Structures are given as structure tokens and as C-alpha cells.
């Protein structure tokens, strides 16, 4: 991290970070969207006016304001305006509907709720009123506006809880994760340091700004003084024009994004799908080694993958200057200040970027051990070089005849099969074995049909132990995913195939 970025990373609050960056490079762009651009100076000036408008509405320091808005310049302005006031923000992913939104509004006790009106065919305003939300106002093209001279002083400390983020809630009700300005600044600083970016780079936000990656990424822009392109709706190939027009140098999001870019590249081998692109980066979901090698080989760019979660936005990150072996097979190394401890195979974390806990005190007590380390539920180990290798989830271990089997190990091997576009391996109930191993596959377009004997033969040749070989194969058009970083929802696969008739199994 350069000296300027290092100094900015010591900012006590997000607003202080905005203020200091605006003073350094007021005319440089920070956000680009379609034909619009917002400079660092304009971010500061306009966010203060929005803050004044919110203040006139009754928003004060400590007021909880929920917002369910798409990835737009206006969303960033509203969020920084709330940071200027010291309000408590509860971002809600814009694809969530009554169940998740109602839960977030009730649990956070939000006093105001910003919505986009009708967006992508869904009437968010009507939903908010149906749910009995308080202080509903629309914030899409227009935002509250007022005279900044009426504002009180900005918050002076960044250690109070001012952010409530929501876990995806794929198997139960979402958890409200408590963050501070300092924990978000620490996470963004870790990301910025790891990626070795410069003021000449152009980033991209193809994920929901309401995701924890929103402030994580924006902090990085503020630290290094470079812009990012915002995509309100991300779909390929339509979004490629925006990447090309703005000369994006750094793209990504998660493993699913890498695969989508690869699919576009394969339509025109030999011609870079995004000529300016030099780096794909992301996290949020496991990355099979073959994905790394395919990106480097076919797209001609570097790929650095990391490890993060709503509770800790940046834990480890690959270094663009690391070895191909480490970039392909590990999640990178933790930055200074992030402590990783492995206890009975589980990854545990302690550091400034770690959340303060959950809205529910009982969940907080269960999540942290006696020394203040967060129990992640992820399994892994740290290599002699300090790189973290993830091997699966505590709840994603398949127990077959008393033997523990890592779903990730099988997924990584099958991902390299020429007929496989994507794969998820799950355990299904079985009276004889306890659980059986089931591979659920998206086939690559144009590939020959994958069969269970073919998959088993391939895995045998790759050296997989016999007791880990899949006994069932299911081929699907598309794996079910969430709407944030496109993580595969394995619980939906278990629900779908637990009671379904099985394909022929491979004997052992």
C-alpha cells in the first residue's frame, strides 16, 4: 500500500475518508455508470446535500435507516450521506422479497426505509407499505436535498455499530451482522493492499452495492483514488460494452463471474473479450484450480481469488505476484492484523475487520470462542508459506460409512472435466451408507453428455480415493444460485434430489 493510501486507511470514519480523499483529488472520477461520472469532490458535495435533506426528514446520528436499492451512483450517495450523519444503515439486497425484507425491517427496527419504487417489474414501494415499514421514501433518480450549513458535526469516532448487514439466510432466517466504520475500512484496506492496484486502474462493481462487498470495494477506491464502473443489471454479453467503453482493468466478483467471462472469451478465442482487462479478482465462493488455469490461459489475464464473508469482508487475498501454484490452489494470505487460527480443522478469525457480532446476543455468544476468535464454520489449513487452503464447510462434509468426505475436493477435480461447466457435490441420505455422494453438474455447451460411469472413470484416473467416488450423478440446466455473488444453494439441491429417483449408481 502506498504512503497516501496507508495514511487514508487510518481514517476514523468513512466520512473522514471521503473528506480526505476529496481534498486530495477532487476532480478525479470515483464512480462511472453508463454516460455518467461522479468525481471524489462531487461525492463529498452531493452526499452532504443528501445528508441535509435526510436531516430535515428526521434522520439523526443513531437513527436506523434500511435501504433496498440497486447498484447505482445514487445508492452510493445515499449511503455516504447516512455515514455523514452517523446513522445506522441496514442495506438489503434488492432481489429480496417479503420474507427476507420483512425480517430485516423487524429485526433492525428501521425507522426509515429507502426503496427504488418499481424496479425490474417489482413494486418495492407497495411491498414496503404491505410490510408496514416506517418512513418509506423512494431513492432512485432523486434523493433528499438540503442545505449542508444546517448539519451538525460529522461523527468523530468509527467504533460504534453503524451497519447491519444480512447473511443470505439460505438454510434459516438471516442473521443481522454488526459492523463499524472501522471494520469496513479495515476490510477495504486489506483488499486494496493485496491487489496492488494503482490510481491508473479502473475497477468494476457487477455485484449488489447492498452486499458487504459494496463498502469493501468503495473503500479501496477512496484509498487509491481510482474509479469503478457500476452495473445496475449485470448480464453477459450485454455488460461487455460498459467494460470496454470505460477501459476496465480489474473485474470479477466470484467464481461464477469468472466462469461467465470465460464463456464469453470462448466465443472468440484469440481476441481479448475485454482488451483493457489485466486482472480478475473476487471471492465469496470456492474456486477450483482449473478455473484459475483456464482464465490465465484463455483470457490472458491474472486471477487472484480471496476469502471473505459478511462477518469479515476480507480475510485473505491472492497476490498478483504470487506463484501460479499458490494462486490456483490457495485463498491467498491474510493481511497484517488478521489472525487466523485453525482449531480442529475449523478456520477461526480475529482482527479489526471482524464484525462486532450479531443483532441476536445468543448468536454472538455462539459465534465467538473464549479468546475472541470468530468461528467461521469453514475447514482449512495454513501452509508453511502462510497461505490459507480451504477444504470445505463443517456442514458440507459428507459422512459415508463413517468416513468424512470433502465435497470441495471432488468438485475441484470434476471442474477440470471437459464436459463440466460447473458442479456441486452434495451428500444425500442413504439407509445403507448414512450418506451417499451425489455430483450435480451443469454441462458445458456443446460437450458430449456426461454419464456417471464416465465421471467415476475420470475421477479414478485423477487419483481420487475409491470411497470418495460419486454414487449418483444429476445433470441440470443451471445450478440454483443466490442473487449476490452467485453462490450455489446446495440446500435446494438436497431438497430436490433427496426424495427423487436416483440415476444408476456405480458399484464399489
The pLDDT value given to residue 6: 83
Number of structural domains (the chain) is 3
State the residue for C-alpha cell 470433502.
406
Does 360 map to a domain? Answer: no
Say whether both 31 and 167 belong to one domain.
yes
CATH of the domain at 437: 3.30.300.30
Domain end residue (candidates: 155, 180, 205)? 180
CATH of the domain at 60: 3.40.50.980
The pLDDT value given to residue 503: 47
Measured between its terminal Cα atoms, the distance across the chain in Å is 53
CA-to-CA distance for 323 and 308, rounded, in angstroms? 21
Does 136 map to a domain? Answer: yes
CA-to-CA distance for 474 and 425, rounded, in angstroms? 10
What pTM does this model have? 0.84
Residue ranges in the chain modelled with pLDDT below 50: 170-171, 503-508
Q: Residue 235: helix, strand or coil by DSSP?
A: coil
Say whether both 175 and 193 belong to one domain.
no
CA-to-CA distance for 405 and 467, rounded, in angstroms? 8
The pLDDT value given to residue 403: 73
Instruction: For residue 294, give its domain range.
Output: 183-337
For 385-433, the pLDDT digits (tens) are 999 998 877 877 788 876 778 888 899 899 999 999 999 999 898 877 7
Say whether both 198 and 275 belong to one domain.
yes
Does 42 map to a domain? Answer: yes
The pLDDT value given to residue 500: 62
Say whether both 240 and 317 belong to one domain.
yes
Domain end residue (candidates: 156, 180, 204)? 180
DSSP string, 151-173: --PPPS-S-SEEEEEE---SSSS
Does 375 map to a domain? Answer: no
Set of cell numbers at residue 121: 417489474
The pLDDT value given to residue 505: 42
CA-to-CA distance for 103 and 90, rounded, in angstroms? 12
The pLDDT value given to residue 139: 98
State the residue for C-alpha cell 447492498.
210
Domain end residue (candidates: 153, 180, 207)? 180
Q: How many CA atoms lie within 13 A of 357 on its CB side?
A: 13
Does 395 map to a domain? Answer: no
Return contacts of 195-198, CB within 8 angstroms, 24+ apart.
Answer: 195/220, 195/250, 195/279, 195/281, 195/304, 195/317, 195/320, 196/319, 196/320, 196/321, 197/224, 197/226, 197/250, 198/224, 198/226
The candidate with the shortest Cα–Cα distance to 317, out of 213, 387, 218, is 387
Say whether both 113 and 227 belong to one domain.
no
Does 141 map to a domain? Answer: yes
Amino acid at each position: 500500500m502506498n504512503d497516501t493510501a496507508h495514511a487514508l486507511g487510518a481514517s476514523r470514519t468513512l466520512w473522514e475518508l471521503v473528506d480526505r480523499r476529496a481534498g486530495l483529488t477532487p476532480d478525479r472520477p470515483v464512480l462511472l455508470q453508463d454516460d455518467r461520472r461522479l468525481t471524489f469532490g462531487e461525492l463529498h458535495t452531493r452526499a452532504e446535500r443528501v445528508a441535509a435533506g435526510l436531516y430535515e426528514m428526521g434522520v439523526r446520528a443513531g437513527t436506523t435507516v434500511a435501504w433496498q436499492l440497486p447498484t447505482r451512483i445514487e445508492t452510493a450517495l445515499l449511503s455516504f450521506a447516512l455515514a455523514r450523519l452517523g446513522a445506522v444503515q441496514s442495506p438489503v439486497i434488492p432481489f429480496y422479497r417479503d420474507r427476507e425484507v420483512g425480517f430485516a425491517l423487524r429485526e433492525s427496527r428501521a425507522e426509515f426505509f429507502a426503496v427504488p419504487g418499481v424496479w425490474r417489474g417489482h413494486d418495492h414501494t407497495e411491498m414496503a407499505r404491505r410490510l408496514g415499514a416506517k418512513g418509506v421514501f423512494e431513492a432512485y433518480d432523486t434523493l433528499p436535498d438540503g442545505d449542508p450549513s444546517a448539519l451538525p458535526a460529522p461523527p468523530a469516532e468509527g467504533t460504534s455499530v453503524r451497519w447491519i448487514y444480512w447473511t443470505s439466510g439460505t438454510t434459516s432466517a438471516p442473521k443481522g451482522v454488526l459492523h463499524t466504520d472501522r471494520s469496513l475500512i479495515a476490510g477495504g484496506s486489506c483488499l486494496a493492499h493485496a491487489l496492488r492496484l494503482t490510481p491508473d486502474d479502473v475497477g468494476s462493481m457487477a455485484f449488489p452495492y447492498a452486499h458487504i462487498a459494496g463498502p469493501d470495494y468503495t473503500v479501496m477506491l477512496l484509498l487509491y483514488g481510482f474509479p469503478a464502473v457500476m452495473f445496475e443489471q449485470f448480464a453477459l454479453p450485454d455488460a461487455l460494452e460498459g467494460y470496454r467503453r470505460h477501459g476496465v482493468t480489474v473485474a470479477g466478483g466470484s467464481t461464477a463471474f469468472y466462469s461467465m467471462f470465460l464463456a464469453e472469451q470462448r466465443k472468440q478465442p484469440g481476441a481479448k473479450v475485454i482488451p483493457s482487462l489485466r486482472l480478475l479478482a473476487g471471492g465469496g465462493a470456492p474456486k477450483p484450480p482449473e478455473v484459475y488455469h483456464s482464465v490465465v490461459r484463455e483470457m490472458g489475464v491474472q486471477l487472484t481469488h480471496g476469502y471473505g464473508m459478511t462477518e469479515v469482508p476480507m480475510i485473505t487475498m491472492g497476490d498478483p505476484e504470487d506463484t501460479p501454484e499458490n494462486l490456483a490452489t490457495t485463498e491467498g494470505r491474510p493481511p497484517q492484523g488478521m489472525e487466523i487460527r485453525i482449531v480442529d480443522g475449523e478456520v477461526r478469525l480475529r482482527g479489526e475487520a471482524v464484525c462486532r457480532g450479531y443483532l441476536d446476543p445468543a448468536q454472538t455468544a455462539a459465534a465467538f470462542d473464549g479468546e475472541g476468535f470468530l468461528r467461521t464454520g469453514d475447514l482449512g489449513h495454513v501452509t508453511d508459506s502462510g497461505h490459507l487452503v480451504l477444504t470445505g464447510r463443517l456442514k458440507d462434509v459428507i459422512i459415508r460409512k463413517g468416513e468424512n468426505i470433502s465435497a470441495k475436493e471432488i468438485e475441484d477435480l470434476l471442474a477440470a472435466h471437459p464436459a463440466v461447466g460447473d458442479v456441486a457435490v452434495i451428500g444425500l441420505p442413504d439407509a445403507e451408507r448414512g450418506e451417499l455422494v451425489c455430483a450435480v453438474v451443469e454441462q458445458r455447451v456443446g460437450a458430449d453428455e456426461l454419464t456417471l460411469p464416465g465421471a467415476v472413470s475420470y475421477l479414478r484416473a485423477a487419483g481420487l480415493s475409491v470411497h470418495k467416488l460419486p454414487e449418483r450423478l444429476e445433470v441440470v440446466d443451471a445450478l440454483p444460485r443466490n442473487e449476490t455473488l452467485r453462490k450455489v444453494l446446495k440446500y435446494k439441491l438436497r431438497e430436490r434430489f433427496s426424495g427423487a429417483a436416483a440415476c444408476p449408481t456405480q458399484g464399489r
